[in-house]
Amino acid sequence: MAVSQHSSTGAQVSPERLAEVVRRHHNYLNGKPDGARADLRGAILPNIKIEKLAFRHALLSGITWQDAELEKANFSLADLFGADMQRSILIGADFFRADLRGARMNKAVLRSAQFKDADLRPGDLRGIDGEIIGTDFSGANLDDANMTRADVTDGNFEGASMIGVEMSQAQLSSANFTGADLSDADFEGAKLKEANLTGANLRNANFTNANLEGANLRNANLSGANLKGANLNDAKVFLGLGLLSANLQKIFRDHMVWLATRGGDGVRADLSEFDLRGLDLSYSDLSVAIFNGADLTGTNLRRAYLTMAEFEGAIMTKVDLSEAELKGANMTDANLAGAKMIAADLASQDIDMAQGRGLHRIPTRLVRANLTGTDLRDADLSSAVLTDANVQDAFTAGAQMPGAQKSEMENQDERDGS
């Protein structure tokens, strides 16, 4: 039966003793006689040098590894709670699912190390002299971790939980944050050039003076984020942005900032009378944007967020608004002939009134809109205003319609079927 081999807490371990612990832990991992799980909790091991150390499943909480050289070490599933690994060289080390809560790794060299699914709450990985280039933190828990000034160029944080993480002044160029939770994170002054933040939760994150040049922010949640002074040149706000003119790119980026800061910074997009024919604006957040009189013929707005947007008098023939959110939008006098609005949400938008005065409901307006041949299957128009709208030949199977208008459309469908 394998047992743990324990060293006295706070004791400095001799090279001979460490070699014995390593040998018996190897036997423990391989089910050999004389095997014993390494237990170096609280031990002091400064300035050691071991390549490819195999300490998977080892008990190492509170250990001191300061200034150690442990390239390609295997600490997967190890208990490193509160470990002190400052200034250590850990190039290519594996910390898969390791418990690193409260660990200190500031100024360590962690190039190409693996922290997949590891728990680093609220670890200390501050930089300046250390580097974490190309390191994999995918799926890791870095809530409230401190990575100030760390160099994590090309790092992978896909799917990581990083709530409240401190990354001010960090080097994060080309880092991957796809799907990561970065709510309340601090990126002040950080360099995020060409970083991938697709689908990331950036709610209330601080990007003051951050460099987001060329970053991918598609489908990211930026509500409440602070983007004051941030460089968003060539940032990808939605699919197809890079194909737009420089003027349009600036308008859309300024609008993104305006939405994120709730009007505190940036500029609301006013695209009145613009020629936007055939553009790909799918998945974009253009809530409250103004498109009055614009030409959107054949434009792709599939799954776009267009809450309370203004489309009065716009030309929208054959536009694709499938699954788009259009709550409270104004489409009065818009020409939507032949448009696709399959499963679009055109219900009312509720607005909280000040001083506890309740909710103000703003309906989607399609007054005098031309909906000839429009595909409204499975769309929600339950509270839309369709006064004098032309619904001839519209497809409404499965659509939720206002009572009176529903009857009119059902009669139209019956006439078409007879």
The residue that leads in pLDDT, 311 or 105, is 311
3-state secondary structure of 355: helix
Residue 7 has pLDDT above 70, yes or no: no
- CA distance linking residue 224 with residue 392, whole number of Å: 43
Residue 248 has pLDDT above 80, yes or no: yes
Q: In which element (H, E) is residue 21 found? A: helix 15-29
107 CB contacts (<8 Å, ≥6 apart)? 86, 87, 126, 127, 128, 129, 130
Among 176, 146, 174, residue whose Cα is nearest residue 160: 176
- CA distance linking residue 308 with residue 283, whole number of Å: 16
For the stretch 300-310, pLDDT in tens is 999 999 999 99
pLDDT score recorded for residue 241: 63
CA distances from 123 to 145, 182, 228 (A): 5, 16, 28
The residue that leads in pLDDT, 256 or 323, is 323
Q: What is the mean pLDDT of the chain?
A: 88
Among 104, 119, 134, give the residue marking a domain's end: 119
Q: What is the CATH number of the domain that holds 20?
A: 2.160.20.80
3-state secondary structure of 222: coil
Number of folded domains in the chain? 2
293 CB contacts (<8 Å, ≥6 apart)? 272, 273, 312, 313, 314
In 237-318, where does DSSP find H-type helix?
246-260
> Is 257 among the domain residues?
no
> Is 307 among the domain residues?
yes
Provide the Cα torsion 62, 63, 69, 72; round to 10°: -70
Q: Do 227 and 205 contact (CB within 8 A), yes or no? A: no
> Is 235 among the domain residues?
no
> Is 178 among the domain residues?
no
Please report, as a single letter, which amino acid is at residue 125: L
The residue that leads in pLDDT, 369 or 232, is 369
For the stretch 343-362, pLDDT in tens is 999 999 888 765 556 678 89
For residue 307, the enclosing domain spans 270-418
For the stretch 86-97, pLDDT in tens is 989 999 999 999
Q: Do 299 and 278 contact (CB within 8 A), yes or no? A: yes
CA distances from 171 to 148, 188, 377 (A): 9, 11, 48
Give the pLDDT band (50/70/90) at residue 11: confident
pLDDT score recorded for residue 73: 96
Residue 414 has pLDDT above 50, yes or no: no
For the stretch 400-411, pLDDT in tens is 987 534 434 444
> Is 387 among the domain residues?
yes
Among 244, 243, 248, 241, residue whose Cα is nearest residue 219: 241
Residue keyed to tokens 């002040």: 188
Residue 106 has pLDDT above 90, yes or no: no
Among 69, 102, 119, give the residue marking a domain's end: 119
DSSP string covering 74-100: B-TT-B-TT-B-TT-B-TT-B-TT-B-
pLDDT score recorded for residue 410: 44
For the stretch 263-290, pLDDT in tens is 888 899 999 999 999 998 888 889 999 9
Among 83, 41, 38, 49, residue whose Cα is nearest residue 64: 83
Both tokens of 199, joined, read: 């689908």
Task: Give mean pLDDT, residues 113-141.
Answer: 86
pLDDT score recorded for residue 406: 45
Strand pairing report for 36-39 and 349-352: unpaired
Please report, as a single letter, which amino acid is at residue 57: H
> Is 127 among the domain residues?
no
Q: Do 286 and 303 contact (CB within 8 A), yes or no? A: no
Residue 191's φ and ψ, nearest 5 degrees, are -105, 110
> Is 343 among the domain residues?
yes
Q: Do 374 and 392 contact (CB within 8 A), yes or no? A: no
- CA distance linking residue 145 with residue 125, whole number of Å: 7
Neighbours of 274 (CB within 10 A): 20
Quote the distance between the C-alpha of residue 190 and its chain's center. 16
> Is 297 among the domain residues?
yes
Give the pLDDT band (50/70/90) at residue 9: low
In 208-351, where does DSSP find H-type helix?
246-260
Q: Do 306 and 326 contact (CB within 8 A), yes or no? A: yes
Q: In which element (H, E) is residue 25 found? A: helix 15-29
Residue 129 has pLDDT above 80, yes or no: no
Among 119, 149, 176, give the residue marking a domain's end: 119
Task: Give mean pLDDT, residues 230-244.
Answer: 75
Q: What is the CATH number of the domain that holds 409?
A: 2.160.20
